[in-house]
Amino acid sequence: MATTVAPVNLGHFTDRRIYLRSSPARGGGALSIRLLLHSPAHPSRPGVAARWMASAATTVVASVVEETETETTVPREQVEAIRSLNGWVEENMLPLLTPVDALPWARWLRGWTAEENRHGDLLNRYLYLTGRVDMRQVEVTIHHLLRNGMVRTYVEMLVPKSPYHSLIYGAFQERATFISHGHTARLAARHGDGTLARICGVIAADERRHEAGYTMASAKLFDVDPDGMVRALAHVMRGKVTMPGLLMSDGHGDGGSDLFGRFSAVAQRAGVYTASDYGDLVEHFVRRWRVADLDAGLSGEGRRAQEYVCALAPKIRRMEELAQRRAARGEPGMARFSWIFDRPVVLG
């Protein structure tokens, strides 16, 4: 799907249309997203941003910035994942990534990478054209995230060098992004930003298809090797499914090392992505992969992994209830984000 931006002069306003041309293979036409900008307004001017901020919740804008940064850096995860697999990758993965390879899995991987890259491009263009954020700070954060790498997120899911971990993590991550983009779309619509709602809705639909790919591949592996897969699932769950933005930094203050933590608190409060969503996520995949029904072929370690995974969702929900009670007793904190000109945002 190609993305182009076409400006048209309308006196004091600039009409910018973002055209999303879908692939002919998917039978799509073109989605035109129209943004009206006051022509003298430069996106980096705080006064302009303040006027635009009045039309949408600050937390929604902060969420879109974080989603832009993680979507932009997702293709890098593929490289990090490949490097972590050492010898296994030379035999199994590299052949799938060559441009001439027509194997279905190879085509799917390349298509997934291309679509994730497109998501980042679209959100980045939206943020620039609306003038709601400090684009310099957005780009600084993306730079730091790419430089810091994915070592503590995606690659950790692959230890000890099992491709099962990669597929399971992929299924969880794609469903989590489907949920967060969907929530952002609804929040944007509630605050009157139909353009952003439509953008996030389109991206959420893509993420849902990506989730289906990883989920079906994992389901087949549960049929073939139930013991290996349930142990891999428990390994991923014990490591926790963290998003690629964990190491994001905007270079401010202490280097922005707690930036992801602050954003997560905002996302929790705004309902973009919550601990409750994570509990639902675990329950969904336990049910989808029929983990509780696994019996034949499980080793002692496999059965212990099965028990751990099946009991996890209720534990997550209990922890969420305790956290909500503690939060209700205390005063909410505040945080400032350089992306939105250091405007204060209430933490969860």
List, for residues 294-329, the tens digit of each pLDDT value.
998 899 999 999 999 999 999 988 888 887 777 667
pLDDT at 30: 40
Is 4 contained in some domain? yes
Flag whether pLDDT at 160 surpasses 70: no
Residue 108 shares a structural domain with residue 145: yes
Residue 336 pairs with which residues in a beta bridge?
Answer: 344
- Measured at the CA of 111, the angle between CA 70 and CA 103, to 5 degrees, comes to 140
**Domain at 294, CATH number:** 1.10.620.20
Three-state secondary structure call for residue 263: helix
Rounded CA separation 224/232 (Å): 14
Residue 24 shares a structural domain with residue 117: no
Is 48 contained in some domain? no
Residue 181 shares a structural domain with residue 258: yes
List, for residues 168-218, the tens digit of each pLDDT value.
988 998 999 999 999 999 988 998 889 989 999 999 999 999 999 999 999
Burial group, residue 253, by CB count within 10 angstroms (0-12, 13-18, 19+):
exposed
The number of helices, as runs of H, and strands, as runs of E, in the chain is 13, 5
Ligand-binding annotation for 165, yes or no, is no
Is 186 contained in some domain? yes
pLDDT at 97: 54
Q: Are 33 and 18 in contact (CB under 8 A)?
A: yes
Rounded CA separation 307/298 (Å): 12
Residue 32 shares a structural domain with residue 81: no
Q: Are 250 and 145 in contact (CB under 8 A)?
A: no
Domain count, the chain: 2
Ligand-binding annotation for 116, yes or no, is yes
Using only the alpha carbons of the chain, give its radius of gyration: 21
Taking the whole predicted model, whether its pTM rises above 0.75 is answered as no
pLDDT at 146: 77
CB-based contacts of 192: which residues, under 8 Å, 6+ apart?
55, 56
Flag whether pLDDT at 252 surpasses 90: no
pLDDT at 96: 53
Is 46 contained in some domain? no
Residue 112 shares a structural domain with residue 138: yes
Burial group, residue 283, by CB count within 10 angstroms (0-12, 13-18, 19+):
middle
Ligand-binding annotation for 284, yes or no, is no
Rounded CA separation 247/257 (Å): 7
Residue with tokens 């922890």: 319
Three-state secondary structure call for residue 3: strand
pLDDT band at 49 (very low <50, low <70, confident <90, very high): very low
pLDDT at 13: 35
Residue 167 shares a structural domain with residue 83: yes
Rounded CA separation 98/328 (Å): 53
pLDDT at 107: 79
Residue 36 shares a structural domain with residue 68: no
Is 52 contained in some domain? no
Residue 129 shares a structural domain with residue 243: yes
pLDDT at 27: 41
For 92, the domain range is 57-346
Closest CA to 121 of 175, 216, 194, 199: 199
* Cis previous bond, 244, omega within 30: no
The CA dihedral of 76, 79, 81, 84, to the nearest 10 degrees, is: -130
Instruction: Out of 9-18, 119-128, 277-286, give the one with best mean pLDDT.
Output: 277-286
Q: 149's torsion region: left (phi>0), alpha (psi -120 to 50) or beta?
A: left
Residue 119 shares a structural domain with residue 158: yes
Is 167 contained in some domain? yes
Ligand-binding annotation for 174, yes or no, is yes
Q: Are 290 and 296 in contact (CB under 8 A)?
A: no
Is 63 contained in some domain? yes
Within its chain, how far is the Cα of 207 from the centroid? 9
Rounded CA separation 137/133 (Å): 8
Residue 21 shares a structural domain with residue 170: no
Residue 98 shares a structural domain with residue 155: yes
Q: Are 91 and 163 in contact (CB under 8 A)?
A: no
List, for residues 8-41, the tens digit of each pLDDT value.
333 333 444 444 443 434 444 444 444 433 333 3
Residue 21 shares a structural domain with residue 112: no
Going 84 to 86 to 92 to 94, the CA torsion angle's sign is positive
Ligand-binding annotation for 38, yes or no, is no
Burial group, residue 233, by CB count within 10 angstroms (0-12, 13-18, 19+):
buried
List, for residues 58-103, the tens digit of each pLDDT value.
556 666 666 665 655 555 455 444 444 444 444 555 555 555 566 7
Closest CA to 48 of 129, 122, 124, 125: 129
Is 47 contained in some domain? no
Of 260 and 206, the one with more pLDDT: 206
Q: How many CA atoms are closer than 13 Å to the CA of 297, on its beta-carbon side?
A: 13
